[in-house]
Amino acid sequence: MITLTQYLLGMRETAHATLISGLAVAVKLTAAAASRGPLILDQTRQPSPREVNRSLRRLAGQVLLAQLQEADQLAGISFAGQPQILPGNPEGRYLLLFDAMHGMSNLNDNLPVGSAFSILERPEPGRPCLIEDFLQPGTRQVSAGIALFGPRTICALTTGDGVDGFTLDRDVGNFVLTHPHLRIPDESAMFAIDASQAPHWPAAVRRYVEECTLGSDGPRRQDFHMRWNASAVVGAYRVLNSGGLFLAPDTGRSGHWLAPLLHTAAPLAFLAEQAGGSASTGTGRVLEVSPSGLDARVPLFLGSSDEVARLEGYFADH
Amino acid sequence: MITLTQYLLGMRETAHATLISGLAVAVKLTAAAASRGPLILDQTRQPSPREVNRSLRRLAGQVLLAQLQEADQLAGISFAGQPQILPGNPEGRYLLLFDAMHGMSNLNDNLPVGSAFSILERPEPGRPCLIEDFLQPGTRQVSAGIALFGPRTICALTTGDGVDGFTLDRDVGNFVLTHPHLRIPDESAMFAIDASQAPHWPAAVRRYVEECTLGSDGPRRQDFHMRWNASAVVGAYRVLNSGGLFLAPDTGRSGHWLAPLLHTAAPLAFLAEQAGGSASTGTGRVLEVSPSGLDARVPLFLGSSDEVARLEGYFADH
Amino acid sequence: MITLTQYLLGMRETAHATLISGLAVAVKLTAAAASRGPLILDQTRQPSPREVNRSLRRLAGQVLLAQLQEADQLAGISFAGQPQILPGNPEGRYLLLFDAMHGMSNLNDNLPVGSAFSILERPEPGRPCLIEDFLQPGTRQVSAGIALFGPRTICALTTGDGVDGFTLDRDVGNFVLTHPHLRIPDESAMFAIDASQAPHWPAAVRRYVEECTLGSDGPRRQDFHMRWNASAVVGAYRVLNSGGLFLAPDTGRSGHWLAPLLHTAAPLAFLAEQAGGSASTGTGRVLEVSPSGLDARVPLFLGSSDEVARLEGYFADH
Amino acid sequence: MITLTQYLLGMRETAHATLISGLAVAVKLTAAAASRGPLILDQTRQPSPREVNRSLRRLAGQVLLAQLQEADQLAGISFAGQPQILPGNPEGRYLLLFDAMHGMSNLNDNLPVGSAFSILERPEPGRPCLIEDFLQPGTRQVSAGIALFGPRTICALTTGDGVDGFTLDRDVGNFVLTHPHLRIPDESAMFAIDASQAPHWPAAVRRYVEECTLGSDGPRRQDFHMRWNASAVVGAYRVLNSGGLFLAPDTGRSGHWLAPLLHTAAPLAFLAEQAGGSASTGTGRVLEVSPSGLDARVPLFLGSSDEVARLEGYFADH
């Protein structure tokens, strides 16, 4: 049995290990708070789900900062959805991007939510960090990971040498390495997409989904399953573990969700590739997209390499 | 702050309270085991998800029996998926139907799973109970409830006087009444259906879903959201909490999921009606269906009364 | 396996059960907070043990009130060490005396602490309760119990029909009946006394202890063991469980600890007698002492009946 | 807030860190099991305390081995009370001595128990380790520590650069650095000794204790407090934290407890000295005693330097 602590002690790069260790504590505290939900607030009146979620988000940010703000290797943090960055140590070599509660409204219905993080190396340490320092393509990530708060609290990490998955043993509070060397299965019959947006899908996506739903009678010659939880982190873990394809196309509609490149698409794509899969915008590798700003967004298709290739083929055709 | 224990102590019917108390302990133990997942097994080798789930299901059954097998008010138990019943005290007045781990394969991807229970009063106590005793329409239920294992462990109960929802405070192990008098919201823009089966939907269902996906441009004049987790318990909690419609139609395909009447559809329908909503087979009230056997199955549509009525109208049209 | 909830549901007197249920929740929350100790406070600076304990005591009182202040059977609460009482429902039939954190300074060194409670029936319900209502001899108690926060969180209860002991299963948060029908062992070779006060002991106590320490060479013809934790609750649980004698004599010194009659001596004596043992002031039964005020104090000797009788004999001799 | 993981990541010597990390996991699992006590066994019958303790001891050994047996820096383990050692990697540089459940019978009465460990560097790595390799004086320890299972789970560690204390946050399972740079207070008025053995104490010990019990009337001119829990680990933590003197003299009686040099006295002495105190056999420094065998035993006096010096003076006088 290998715990996350032992795993981190075995890493060559202590700076990464210290950052990931702080993230892991923040994840455990966030999971505990998320599990208590409305109970984290005064129980003399019934708080609204919105209040609960606002408190949880604030708390998740606070516990991360409590863990990491004195980490001297950290030059700055960018939280998802915030236009400003939090500068750290000007001498620090690393930048952290963090989405503490991805898909948070799922909590109202006790559906899974997740966290995602991405660690970049700074181009030029030795001066206060700037927003521009964060605007690097995903290929420059040195580490990325997700945590998933569901029936279990799990996390999956990469430092560029494959992906390892950990399950939290709540009895004692250890993340234990339960899924070493996660590999996206080649064979699978799963897809995940928001069917409520079907009329707005690009033609390539429509073709892909229709072929799946035709099942054993259609060109794919097998029946497909689907799940949808309106969360790219949840969807990414599902493909990491069980294969298939997660689809978050651009519907061209204002207000419709599109994956934040830096805080979501890049770390998920790094994990997918490190697990033997692919991540595409439909027309190219997600990891190679250069972000125009902290809030840049991209279509995101990730999963088994064959499925991503098939969809990219359809995009090329249409 | 009211705990489940205090809530049960306030019940007039001690026999129900004792059964529900035993179920609550089983649910807490099951949630704890489910959260540890592969860690409940020997860690010297990596167990397969199938082995993990098999162990969890066995354990969930065992903890329920450990809690309830000596309850003298209990005449018999029927576990979901089992052709035989477990006889209890011949003098007992109550019958329990229990589905310990509904949608269990979701655990592989850390997606939510749930439990459902239904308590029936026996027609004639005083003799060993028979399978026939369980074959009563859902209107005869005296209590029903679900537990949901997600980021939180929650449960929702009815004894025929509304629905109350509880959240497990993991710090101390109490279920706390966080959602008293749960009412399905009238206004909502949500639906849940397995889009991978679209070609096999009945016409009424197809019409309902297409109108939703047309969003603000269509006849419903608003944009809809969807989630799908292949679990009626998960879906039922979502409509209890956030409204909308859960759809599990008959696709006419062998091997495709259809809701078990006694262990799933009946308790969910009892909850939905007690929360001000409805549950239909498309052509009639779920609670009035007389079961032909322990494994009888029905199409299940449940949620806000207006939505159920709309869908029933479409069924009548087609 | 019987949980405390099931045990309470089996009680004839629902009012007691509701009060004990509230106490149990308070005990679980207090145990959880006590286990976190300094971690319940802001960790940006190192809090003093005194601050930690003050916060814990406040929290323990708050959680009890949150549980019980709306219990309509409760006419009033007296907290240990407080000159005022907290009036409850004027129509309530019961009075609660509670010591949330007995021997609290032990926490500094991670030594065990405990809680004690006593429930009295009011002489005349139907009017606001007065301090005088609490000034009843211990024979009038309808229920009493202790909780002990050590390696385990345990509690022991009586409602006048023997003593039952429960162990908290922290995994799931249930108190489980692990020690039904606790009986103080007749044979034992244990005593507990504060040896630092030896020069100030009454002659009877000195004789008793000296005979013990002489061991197999002395009149008792066996070797004795001792423990001392400066806590009557800790000492009482030890004699309940392992027999022997707990001695808290009057040393005649101002500032030296003497057992509070109402909040400590009375409930411990009720438990001891219900477990087949005795509790004496040296010259008479503790339960028969009429309290002169909320803060009345008595010498306390409790344990195996033979040992208490022996000590009373020595008191009669000297 | 600094967790043990972050603390270990900051250590220069990774090999120590890995061993301590494994010990910490074992301690957390042992604490969780100890807290459940009889509940770790089948609850269909009531297990005896002896059975419970035997199961706990076995489990504590197993979890340690599960953590450490593949640690390649570990040449061998000696468990307290076992005549044989467990050989590890012949190339390993370190030897571990471990007492998983010191004072275990305390658990019967819910009194605190503890663990102690000592890490020695091997004289000559590169060959299978022998019992003789362990027979080194305590000055050769590179690390030592204790864990204490009471209301809290705490641990205190040294690697030869002071002592740091950690409290387990059970909510999330982290050891958090709550007592950095533990220093034994100079001023204190506490002692701990087994008063049941008074007639068998050496004259120096008798004099020391009598002077304490005389209190403000005696030569020490202050009142003293005492506690006794029949556990050197519990006593050692108390002096680390609150000062004073812990006394475990040689009573010259067969069967009476005397501290095991390697598994108990040496690690406690290392901690005491690193926290600014002393540890003596009465006639010399504990750390300089050369062990004659794995089961060598010594009288043990440890605490504030002034108190140890005073007692050593009395030994010299008598």
All partners of chain C with 3 or more CB pairs under 8 angstroms: A, B, D
Residue of chain C whose Cα is closest to the Cα of B14: C9
By CB atoms closer than 10 A (0-12, 13-18, 19+), residue D169 is buried
Report residue A218: phi and psi, to 5°. -100, -170
How far does the CA of residue C28 sit from the closest CA of chain D (Å)?
12
pLDDT class of B43 with cuts at 50, 70, 90: low
Q: Judge whether residue B273 has pLDDT over 70.
A: yes
Report residue C248: phi and psi, to 5°. -130, 80
Q: How far apart are CA B25 and CA D87, in angstroms?
A: 44
**Cβ atoms of C233 and C264 closer than 8 Å:** yes
**Cβ atoms of A151 and B112 closer than 8 Å:** yes
Mean residue pLDDT of chain C comes to: 93
CB contact under 8 A, C196 and D213: yes
Helix (H) / strand (E) containing D28: helix D14-36
**Cβ atoms of B279 and B298 closer than 8 Å:** no
Length of chain C, please?
318
Helix (H) / strand (E) containing B233: helix B232-242
Cβ neighbours of B28 in C, within 8 Å: 172-174
Q: Of B43, B66, B171, which is closest to D171 when you measure between CB atoms?
A: B171
Q: Judge whether residue C43 has pLDDT over 80.
A: no
**318 residues of chain A, pLDDT tens digit each:** 899 999 999 887 888 899 999 999 999 999 999 998 888 887 667 788 888 898 898 888 888 988 887 788 999 999 999 999 999 999 999 999 999 988 889 999 999 999 999 999 998 889 999 999 999 999 999 999 999 999 999 999 999 999 999 999 988 899 999 999 999 998 889 999 999 999 999 999 999 999 999 999 999 999 999 999 999 999 999 999 999 999 999 998 877 889 999 999 999 999 999 999 999 999 999 999 999 999 999 999 999 999 999 999 999 998
**Cβ atoms of D106 and D233 closer than 8 Å:** no
Q: What percent of chain D has pLDDT over 70?
A: 99
Name the residue type at position A123. Answer: P
Please choose, from the candidates B113, B72, B79, B114, the residue with its C-alpha nearest in 3D space to the C-alpha of residue B96.
B79
DSSP state of B263: I
Please choose, from the candidates D185, D187, D169, D167, the residue with its C-alpha nearest in 3D space to the C-alpha of residue D177.
D167
How far does the CA of residue B7 sit from the closest CA of chain C (Å)?
9
* CATH (one of 3.10.150.10, 3.30.470.20, 3.40.190.80, 3.40.50.720) for A190-317: 3.40.190.80
Q: How far apart are CA D93 and CA D74, in angstroms?
A: 6
Q: Judge whether residue D187 has pLDDT over 90.
A: no
ipTM over 0.95: no
Cβ neighbours of B173 in D, within 8 Å: none
Q: How far apart are CA B6 and CA B11, in angstroms?
A: 9
Q: How far apart are CA D214 and CA D220, in angstroms?
A: 8
pLDDT at A43: 66
pLDDT at B311: 98
pLDDT at A296: 97
Q: Of D37, D43, D225, which is closest to C196 when you measure between CB atoms?
A: D225
Q: How far apart are CA D20 and CA D32, in angstroms?
A: 18
What pairs with residue C121 in β-bridges? C94
Q: Judge whether residue D3 has pLDDT over 80.
A: yes
Q: How far apart are CA C11 and CA B252, in angstroms?
A: 53
pLDDT in tens, D234-259: 999 999 999 999 999 999 887 788 99
Helix axis angle, A232-242 to A266-274, nearest 10°? 0
pLDDT class of C69 with cuts at 50, 70, 90: confident
How far does the CA of residue D44 sit from the closest CA of chain B (Å)?
9
Q: How far apart are CA D229 and CA D107, in angstroms?
A: 11
pLDDT in tens, C171-220: 889 999 999 999 999 888 999 999 999 999 999 999 999 999 999 999 99
Q: Of A5, A28, A29, which is closest to D8 when you measure between CB atoms?
A: A5
By CB atoms closer than 10 A (0-12, 13-18, 19+), residue B139 is middle
First to last CA, chain A: 50
Report residue C87: phi and psi, to 5°. -70, 145
Length of chain A, please?
318
Q: Judge whether residue C15 has pLDDT over 90.
A: no
pLDDT at D14: 81
CB contact under 8 A, A110 and B214: no
pLDDT at C67: 87
Report residue A247: phi and psi, to 5°. -120, 120
Report residue A220: phi and psi, to 5°. -80, -15
CB contact under 8 A, A37 and B111: no
pLDDT class of B227 with cuts at 50, 70, 90: very high
pLDDT at B73: 92
Q: Which two tokens stand for residue A220?
A: 């794919």
Domain ranges of chain B: 4-179, 190-317
**Cβ atoms of D43 and D113 closer than 8 Å:** no
How far does the CA of residue A21 sit from the closest CA of chain B (Å)?
21
CA B68 and chain centroid, separation? 20
Number of H-type helices and E-type strands within chain B = 8, 15
pLDDT at D12: 78
By CB atoms closer than 10 A (0-12, 13-18, 19+), residue A119 is buried
What pairs with residue D179 in β-bridges? D165
Sign for the pseudo-dihedral over CA of D86, D89, D95, D100: negative
**CA-to-CA dists, residue B79 to B76, B82, B148, B266, B294, angstroms:** 10, 6, 18, 14, 10
Helix axis angle, D266-274 to D232-242, nearest 10°? 0
pLDDT in tens, B56-109: 988 888 889 888 877 889 999 999 999 999 999 999 999 999 999 888 899 999
Cβ neighbours of C173 in B, within 8 Å: 28, 169-170, 172-174
CB contact under 8 A, D5 and A1: no
Q: Judge whether residue D43 has pLDDT over 70.
A: no
- Rounded mean pLDDT, B33-46: 81
Q: How far apart are CA D173 and CA A27, in angstroms?
A: 12
DSSP state of B63: H
Cβ neighbours of B171 in C, within 8 Å: 29, 32
Residue of chain A whose Cα is closest to the Cα of C63: A43
Per-residue DSSP letters for B84-95? S-EE--TT--EE
All partners of chain A with 3 or more CB pairs under 8 angstroms: B, C, D
Per-residue DSSP letters for D134-149? H---GGGEEEEEEEEE
**CA-to-CA dists, residue C91 to C21, C123, C127, angstroms:** 20, 12, 6
pLDDT class of C285 with cuts at 50, 70, 90: very high
Name the residue type at position B105. Answer: S
Q: Of D9, D29, D67, which is closest to A14 when you measure between CB atoms?
A: D9
pLDDT in tens, B163-218: 999 999 988 899 999 999 999 998 889 999 999 999 999 999 999 999 999 999 99
Q: Judge whether residue B44 has pLDDT over 90.
A: no
| SS3 annotation, C247-298 | EECCCCCCCCCCEEHHHHHHHHHHHHHHCCCEEECCCCEHHHCCCCCCCCEE
Please choose, from the candidates D132, D90, D101, the residue with its C-alpha nearest in 3D space to the C-alpha of residue D33.
D101
All partners of chain D with 3 or more CB pairs under 8 angstroms: A, B, C
Residue of chain A whose Cα is closest to the Cα of D17: A9
Q: Which two tokens stand for residue B100?
A: 């310990």
Q: Regarding the domain delimited by C4-179, which CATH topology (the fold level of the hierarchy) does it fall under?
A: Fructose-1,6-Bisphosphatase; Chain A, domain 1 (3.30.540)
Strands D141-149 and D153-158, how do they pair?
antiparallel
Sign for the pseudo-dihedral over CA of C292, C295, C299, C304: positive
How far does the CA of residue C40 sit from the closest CA of chain A (Å)?
14
CB contact under 8 A, D3 and A17: no
